[in-house]
Amino acid sequence: ETEEFLAAFQARIDAEEKIEPTDPMPQGYRRTLIRQIGQHAHSEIVGMLPEGNWITRAPSLKRILALLAKVQDEGGHGLYLYSAAETLGVTREQMTEELHAGKAKYSSIFNYPALSWADMGAIGWLVDGAAIMNQVALCRCSYGPYARAMIRVCAEESFHQRQGYEIMLTLCNGTKEQKEMAQDALNRFWWPALMMFGPHDGDSAHSEQSMKWKIKRFSNDALREKFINATVPQAEFLGLTVPDPDLEWNEEKGGYEHGDINWDEFWRVVKGDGVMNRERVQMRKDAWDNGAWVREAALAHAQKRAAKIAA
């Protein structure tokens, strides 16, 4: 790629133009979008598993309906994002094979087990809350299909976050045991939720270039701080304690100082050695194999219809 080509492309980005699938783009721009959108799609699909486990165990019909709707939404977000990635030339099969082979990343948060009903509250409140922070910014991503996918995703994500928070509120206004369940879920999901935003800016391999290309509008730490500043008051309203003894409001900064994130844990989980990594990938492989007959039937049906129309 010539300097002129790269400069002309950067000028389009700087002018806030949306890049569309058939536009000429640097290979690096294409590659990092395939990487990020593919991982994002995998995160949505794998993210269905912890919650899917609790649909039949939810405490009421109302909770079953809300959780079912949320898990279905996540599946839809995944399909949206796989389609956005396909506009860049990667195939669904390639991305699926990579996930099943353990070669594709997805958000580390989904490698933590969902041990109690309160986890459904903590996941909706914290995980979807963190995802919203990140995804609202992605609505302004320079790549058109990705930005447009995010607008629909964010609309549904806010319902996910609210239903999670409402579960936590109900538990915290319930019995002593229920409030303890909510505190236990916050203890187990707080730090992994902070890790969703990625490494510190200084350790982030892609941030600088991704921000130059306006794929990333805010740095990992900026979004993480925004999430902490919005979420700590919510925990206080619930009467729960954020499991970080170093958490402290800094008036001058207008934000919270927080304790060190355990990056050894982060990289261990990202590299595949978290509590649930193997089980999550295995469940995706089983779902793919068990669903083969559905794909074959849908293809046969589509071919029959096409033949009928052509006749």
Question: What is the token pair recorded at 177?
Answer: 């045991």
**Stretch of 16-24, 178-186, 194-202, 275-283 lying at the interface with ligand 3HC (CB under 6 A):** 194-202
Query: Pattern of binders to ligand 3HC over 89-108, x per CB under 6 A?
Result: ----------------x-xx
Taking CB under 6 A as the criterion, the residue among 142, 163, 207, 231 binding ligand 3HC is 207
Residues 76, 102, 75: CA angle, nearest 5 degrees: 10
Q: How many Å apart are CA 262 and CA 259, to the nearest integer?
A: 9
Q: Does 124 bind ligand 3HC (CB under 6 A)?
A: no
Among 194, 199, 225, 276, which residue sits at the site for ligand 3HC (rule: CB under 6 A)? 199
Distance CA 208, CA 215 (A): 10
> Per rule CB under 6 A, is residue 74 in the interface with ligand 3HC?
yes
Q: Which of 9, 33, 40, 172 binds ligand 3HC (CB under 6 A)?
A: 40
- What is the C-alpha separation between 6 and 14, in angstroms, rounded? 12
88-97 — which CB contacts under 8 Å span 24+ positions? Answer: 88/21, 88/30, 88/33, 88/34, 88/37, 89/30, 89/34, 90/34, 90/38, 95/38, 95/41, 95/42, 96/288
Q: Quick one: 79 or 178, whose CB is closer to ligand 3HC?
A: 79
Is the CB of 137 or the CB of 179 nearer to ligand 3HC?
137
Q: Is 142 in the site for ligand 3HC (CB under 6 A)?
A: no
DSSP code for 275: S
Q: Which of residues 18-37 bind ligand 3HC (CB under 6 A)?
A: 35-36
Q: Site for ligand 3HC (CB under 6 A): which residue of 83, 116, 204, 234? A: 204
- Distance between start and end Cα atoms, the chain: 48
Q: Which string of x and - marks every residue 216-255 that binds ligand 3HC (by CB under 6 A)?
A: x---x-----------------------------------
- Asked if residue 202 binds ligand 3HC (CB under 6 A), the reply is no
* Residue 43 makes contact with ligand 3HC by CB under 6 A: yes
- CA-CA distances (angstroms) from residue 40 to 31, 73, 78? 14, 14, 8
In the complex, the smallest distance separating the C-beta of residue 215 from ligand 3HC, rounded to whole angstroms, is: 8
210 binds ligand 3HC (CB under 6 A): yes
The DSSP symbol for 17 reads P
Residue of 38, 121, 129, 198 that binds ligand 3HC (CB under 6 A): 198
The amino acid at 88: L
Contacts of 277 (CB under 8 A, 6+ apart): 102, 111, 269
128 touches ligand 3HC (CB under 6 A)? yes
Asked if 268 interacts with ligand 3HC (CB under 6 A), we say no
Which of helix, strand or coil describes residue 249?
strand
- Reading the block at residue 31, the tokens are 């590659």
> What are the residues binding ligand 3HC (CB under 6 A)?
35-36, 39-40, 43-44, 47, 74, 77, 105, 107-108, 127-128, 131, 134, 157, 195-199, 204-207, 210, 216, 220, 270
